[in-house]
Structure 1
Amino acid sequence: MYIKKILLIIVLLGLIAGGAFAYLIYNALFSPNTAFNNKEAYIFIPTGSSYDDFTNLVAPLLSDMETFEAVAKRKKYIDNIKPGKYLLKKGMNNNEIVNTLRSKNIPVNVSYNTQETMEKLAGRVSSQIEADSISLLKAFTDPEFLQENGFTGDTGLSMFIPNSYEFFWNTSATGFRDRMRKEYLRFWNDDRLKNAEVLDLTQIQVISLASIVQKETAKVNERPRVAGLYLNRLKKNMLLQADPTVIYALKRELGNFDTVIKRVLYKDLELNSPYNTYKYAGIPPGPITMPDISAIDAVLKPEKHDYYYMVANVEDFGYHKFATNLAQHNRNKVQYIRWINEQNINR
């Protein structure tokens, strides 16, 4: 009888101990363990992070780091830290947090508009993914990559089509560049390639001309007309005489693309640069900016007309007055010059 009581006590103690252990395990796995007050918090884990690095990032977001570490060790996360952007929701337990950090890297939307230089593009992109601007610029301008893909230092900007793209935050510089190459090839579908062939222009020539259209007018609905004008001039072997190319040439000569130039002077037209379309015939050797899709498609599907000249319309700002002959253009130009002199714009 005495032995039975002892055995019963031992069993009861075992059940109590097992229950306590089970409770501790359950509590470690399934009790809420977030310390932030917002409904959600994002954590960005850099590539190559050690567990100590990771701990410094995640500790402020958790109520109990000790129970989290116990679960992370059990699920073998500590030795397999994964870089990326992760979403933690208020009230998550350790099991949910570890599972999220193991497999739910969240994509980010990387967007960029028209950029004049690779440097500016690299800066824009670096603010949205892990890769820094220096590594991005190095990847963008890598001579071997450019040569293998039919680009040069002057034409490399052609590869980047302004838009919004989905990436993982921890995408590398070369990973981003290579993806943009694929997007460039996807952009040039059969329809666009056929239109370029009809115009007897290469893809890079289309983008270079589109960059002039982009700079010439911000009005999307005017771009097909402007594109048609430049194409008319090319067919007649006329100089393009586009002021934006002179401005680009001046900035390139100065080595400062942040320079503000509001007025092109007659002396500027003599600048000896292949980008100066008042001096050199044809399309410049590369884009003067990164044209957006509307400008590229304006070149590929231009408005058909007989215009060869244009000048800014001071009666309808942002738009232009178009002319079929020089005499008509000169009459339109008088009004523009009078207006710009009244504004006292000297540069």
Structure 2
Amino acid sequence: MRRKFLLLLETGLVLAGLCLGASAWKIHSALQQPLNITREELLEVPKGTTPTRTLYRLEADGVIKDAFWLRVYWRFNLARQPLHKGEYRMQPGMTVEGLIELWKRGDIVQYSMTLVEGWNFHQVRAALAKAEKLEQTLDGLSDSQVMEKLGHDGIFPEGRFFPDTYRYVRGMTDVELLKKAYDRLDEVLAKEWGQRSADLPYKEPYQALIMASLVEKETGVPQERGQIAGVFVRRMEMGMLLQTDPTVIYGLGDRYNGKLTRAHLREATPYNTYMISGLPPTPIAMVGREAIHAALNPVAGNSLYFVARGDGSHVFSDDLDAHNNAVREFQLKRRADYRSSPGPATAPDALDEQPIPAASPNIAPEVLEPVPPQAPAQMASPESPASVDEPPQAPSSAPAQPPAEEPAAAPVPEPDATAPQRPQ
């Protein structure tokens, strides 16, 4: 009886060994089989998909065989290994084992999106909507609803996102990417605020962000950011109006068609810095780190005015006489192809090639009341409206008042460009 038992036991062990060996061979063969593809393909793994489901899907598509043995391999060797959502690049000649190595490393195909300095929120949303690999969740939502979805209810979105190149994978939502940009802006602004110069006219970082957006829209040559910020800061400290055209254009919203008239300069919007003192209520565009740094570390000096040369750079002047001479030289006698600033920032290739209007869909926070016209500052401001398309006049306590709808005699700028007759 004992001998029979031992014989049965021995036979069982042999059979078990043979089964294990056969299983190991089957698993090894399944792992070493090449993927049945003739060109590169992307394997999409949606959120929540299990390895088992993915393996059987590949088998159903004819890409692999023996999904059962691969499932057994995963169950006993990689049970705690997560399968990350996204796309995996399958190459001709790759084995199943090579594909599983991609899964183990989380080697997911990544895409990139560049948010450009100077863009407004309308342009940001347009770029997000064209990113096919992003999961679109913001369609049909207002700007305020977008901010609520980001967890920042009541925050006006303009200028609150950091321009940079962001990586994302298929299945990532547009909200997730926007949150990255929002958090990045907060991080950069906080760091630059901690390294700011003394005696600046800002009570909080948000005011510096607003100033940075003016600097961003006015700058054609990067090296001039600090000088432009210096002019604006000194004018604020002296009680002078900022009188910068990009704020007027932003306040016009969809009504801006590329022509800035002198009537526009007198129109009472919350953003018209010809009519309001100090800064506009919100930023007017996204800003890069350099513009924030310039707003918080303006270049010292005496200049209170600047005028565009037409090549993106500016002539800075300390007094109105010198400024009027520069206006006469560079604007009143300008060439037909004169440009006061470079054209709109070029969008990434994947985006719409048509220029996007410079207006935000929500031009001003709803809580802001219309700002009534204010008396111009007694100190002469740079390039007063009288000097937009007329020979410079002697300083006066108030700008000349030309006919209401007479357009300024300047070449039509691009929709997102600064108008040529910039009065700084």
> Smaller-chain TM-score range?
0.7 to 0.9
Q: What do residues 72-123 of structure 1 show as CA deviations (whole Å, max 9, x unaligned)?
A: 476369xx86422334344332244245336515355543212533332133
Measure the CA separation in 1 of the matches of 2:287 and 2:132: 21
Identity among equivalent pairs (%): 22
Give the structure 2 partner of residue 185 of structure 1: 186
Cα distance change, pair 227–84 in 1 and its aligned pair in 2 (3 A): same
Measure the CA separation in 2 of the matches of 1:269 and 1:70: 75
Normalised by the length of structure 1, the TM-score is 0.75
Q: Among residues 287, 299, 303, which one is paired with 1:291 in the alignment?
A: 287
Report the CA distance between 1:229 and its aligned residue: 0.5
Q: What do residues 43-89 of structure 1 show as CA deviations (whole Å, max 9, x unaligned)?
A: 343435699996899679x8643334652476369xx8642233434
SS of 2:209's equivalent in the other structure is helix
Measure the CA separation in 2 of the matches of 1:260 and 1:44: 44
Cα distance change, pair 209–184 in 1 and its aligned pair in 2 (3 A): same
Question: Aligned-residue CA RMSD in angstroms?
Answer: 4.1
| One-letter amino acid of the counterpart of residue 43, structure 1 | L
Q: Among residues 321, 334, 337, which one is paired with 2:332 in the alignment?
A: 337
Please say if 1:119 is aligned against 2:115.
no
Measure the CA separation in 1 of the matches of 2:294 and 2:144: 32
Q: Mapping of 1:25-36 within 5 angstroms?
A: 25-36=27-38
Measure the CA separation in 1 of the matches of 2:92 and 2:337: 61
Measure the CA separation in 2 of the matches of 1:166 and 1:346: 37
Give the structure 2 partner of residue 132 of structure 1: 136
Measure the CA separation in 2 of the matches of 1:55 and 1:294: 49
| One-letter amino acid of the counterpart of residue 319, structure 1 | S
| One-letter amino acid of the counterpart of residue 327, structure 2 | K
Give the structure 2 partner of residue 233 of structure 1: 235
**Contact (CA 8 Å) 1:123, 1:133: kept in 2 or not?**
no
Q: Greater RCO between the two (CA within 8 Å, min separation 6)?
A: 2
Measure the CA separation in 1 of the matches of 2:66 and 2:126: 41
Please say if 1:271 is aligned against 2:257.
no
Measure the CA separation in 1 of the matches of 2:151 and 2:63: 49
Give the structure 2 partner of residue 65 of structure 1: 64
SS of 1:161's equivalent in the other structure is coil
Cα distance change, pair 249–18 in 1 and its aligned pair in 2 (3 A): closer
SS of 1:183's equivalent in the other structure is helix
Give the structure 2 partner of residue 7 of structure 1: none
Give the structure 2 partner of residue 221 of structure 1: 223
| One-letter amino acid of the counterpart of residue 411, structure 2 | I
Cα distance change, pair 49–190 in 1 and its aligned pair in 2 (3 A): closer
Q: What do residues 234-283 of structure 1 show as CA deviations (whole Å, max 9, x unaligned)?
A: 01111100011112122x153xxxx652x532111012211111111111
Q: What do residues 168-214 of structure 1 show as CA deviations (whole Å, max 9, x unaligned)?
A: 54434444344444323321345533417641412111111111111
Gaps of 5+ in 1: 1-11
SS of 1:310's equivalent in the other structure is strand
Q: Mapping of 1:68-217 within 5 angstroms?
A: 68=67, 70-72=69-71, 75=74, 82-101=84-103, 104-106=106-108, 108-114=111-117, 116-125=119-128, 127=131, 130-132=134-136, 134=138, 140-142=146-148, 145-147=151-153, 152-153=155-156, 156-190=157-191, 192-195=193-196, 198-201=199-202, 202-217=204-219
Count matched residues. 322
SS of 1:162's equivalent in the other structure is coil
| One-letter amino acid of the counterpart of residue 273, structure 2 | T
Please say if 1:319 is aligned against 2:313.
yes
SS of 1:85's equivalent in the other structure is strand
**Contact (CA 8 Å) 1:196, 1:300: kept in 2 or not?**
yes
Please say if 1:303 is aligned against 2:290.
no
Give the structure 2 partner of residue 6 of structure 1: none
Which structure shows the bigger proportion of residues in helix conformation? 1
SS of 1:199's equivalent in the other structure is coil
SS of 1:271's equivalent in the other structure is coil
SS of 1:283's equivalent in the other structure is coil
Q: What do residues 126-146 of structure 1 show as CA deviations (whole Å, max 9, x unaligned)?
A: 527523262696774218833
**Contact (CA 8 Å) 1:309, 1:324: kept in 2 or not?**
yes
Q: What do residues 25-55 of structure 1 show as CA deviations (whole Å, max 9, x unaligned)?
A: 32212222251445xx543434356999968
**Contact (CA 8 Å) 2:135, 2:172: kept in 1 or not?**
yes
Measure the CA separation in 1 of the matches of 2:15 and 2:68: 29
| One-letter amino acid of the counterpart of residue 119, structure 1 | H
**Contact (CA 8 Å) 1:71, 1:95: kept in 2 or not?**
no
Normalised by the length of structure 2, the TM-score is 0.63
Report the CA distance between 1:346 and its aligned residue: 5.1
